[in-house]
Structure formats: structure tokens, C-alpha cells
Amino acid sequence: MNTAHALANAARVAILPYFRSIGLSADNKLDAGFDPVTEADRAAERAMRDILAARRPDDGILGEEYGTQEGRSGLTWVLDPIDGTRGFLSGTPTWGVLIALSDTNGPQYGIIDQPYIGERFEGGFDRARMVGPHGTGVLKTRAPRALSEAILFTTFPEVGTPDDGAAFAQVSAKAQLTRYGMDCYAYALLAAGQIDLVIESCLNPYDICAPIAVIEAAGGIVTDWKGGPAHHGGRAIAAANAEIHTEALAILSRAP
């Protein structure tokens, strides 16, 4: 855990000088569409990889910006230096640094860090806590409630493919409140007991591994839309408890 916090601290130092800076620019990873990457993304991942090279040279690394580095220990650090680069470019404090330590069974420990607000959510190895401006608190997901009373989040209004979007819309129609555009911060809010569901699609492993560890440590559930493991990416549903997971999954599992 000390190494994970060192990674998060280094990422904060690398990223914050760029946030809301005048003239911040981004490169586009796509020929069609817009998938931005900034020098802050690259600098943060380099800083984290430097620490791992010194402290954990036998571990593997899977990072969004610099790809896969094979390891020998059976452990892999899954890194997303800025999850929510679109939000970062827009000046919204909803992006975050995602750090997970995984083995062949998936993530065992994770951190969701929001450097600008100064909030850090961690889960795994018998720990589920957040540290922020109001001090340190225990992470615990919300108690069961009907889907009709639930707060639901996703990042993109279209969710993914037309089939993905149609399935999400069916869940949203039954929920009390649906909100959009929070990136990884939505998962942090779920772990902190503020919301009930996060449903997304077209994810990469580095988008979801850290949230899985944090949410599960806080008492929640994260699966794919069929109820299986979600750490490889694709479609994911994060739920505060088994009851609301079952109700939402009954709808999502019918998606083509």
C-alpha cells in the first residue's frame, strides 16, 4: 500500500501544474472522433513507472499511455494517469488517477485519487477508506433500496453501442435520478455511499480495475452485464449492494 500511495502522490505532483492552466492542449488518439491525451497524462504515468522501476521491478505494468510491461512476480499494476481527460480539459474536477494492483484473479487493491479536490479513495487488503478535506472516513456503500429510488450514473449519454444505450435507457427509466459525465468520480461516490449504480460500456481494464477494488472493499459489487468478472473491461455495472445489482442486471443481461 505504501507503494500505491507513493504512485498517487507522484501523479498529483505531475498533473496539478497542468490543470486549468492557460494554453493547455491535447493530442487526439483517434482518426475519427475525439479521445484526448495531454502531457499531464504522459507525465503522470512516467512518474509512476519510475517509482515502480525502483521499488517493484519484478511486477508487471498495464498503463493507458505506455502500454504493457511484462513482470515476473505474478502481480500487475494497472494505471490510468488521468481517467476523464475530457473533464480535465474542461476544467471539471471529476477526473482522477486510477491505480490498481492485480493478480490473475483481478484487482486486489485500488486507489481512486482526485488531486485537485484532495480526495483519495482506497480499498483492498482489509481497508476501505477515504481521505479528504474533512479528514479520514470509512467507505461503505448505500443500503438496499428499490431501483425506483436509486441514483444512477454513467459517463457518456450514448453509453456505448446503440444496443448498450438502449439497455441503459431501460434501467434509467426505472431509476429515480440519472446523472452523466462523472468519469471515475462516479465510482468513488458509489463507494462512499452517495449513489446506487454506475453502468458503463466500452471500458478498458485500466478504466475499471481500481474502481472494482475500491467498491468491493466498501461492500459493493462490480460485474459485467452478464454477472461475470469485469476487470478485463467492456460492459460493467457497479452496484451498492446485491439487491439493486440483481434488479438492474435483470434488465442489462438481456442486451444483445
Residues belonging to the binding site are: 64, 80, 82-83, 207
The CA distance from 147 to 171, in Å, is 8
What residues pair up with 128 in beta bridges, in sequence order? 123
Closest to 42 measured CA to CA, from 63, 70, 72, 71: 63
d(Cα 115, Cα 132) in Å, to the nearest integer?
10
Instruction: Give the residue numbers of the binding site for Mg(2+).
Output: 64, 80, 82-83, 207
Question: CA 1 to CA 7: how far, in whole Å?
Answer: 10
Q: Which long-range contacts (CB under 8 A, 24 or more apart) does 18-21 make?
A: 18/43, 19/88, 19/91, 19/115, 19/116, 20/91
> Position 48: which residue type?
M
Give the residue from 222, 246, 241, 248 showing the smallest Cα distance to 143: 241
Distance in angstroms (rounded) separating the CA atoms of residues 102 and 4: 12
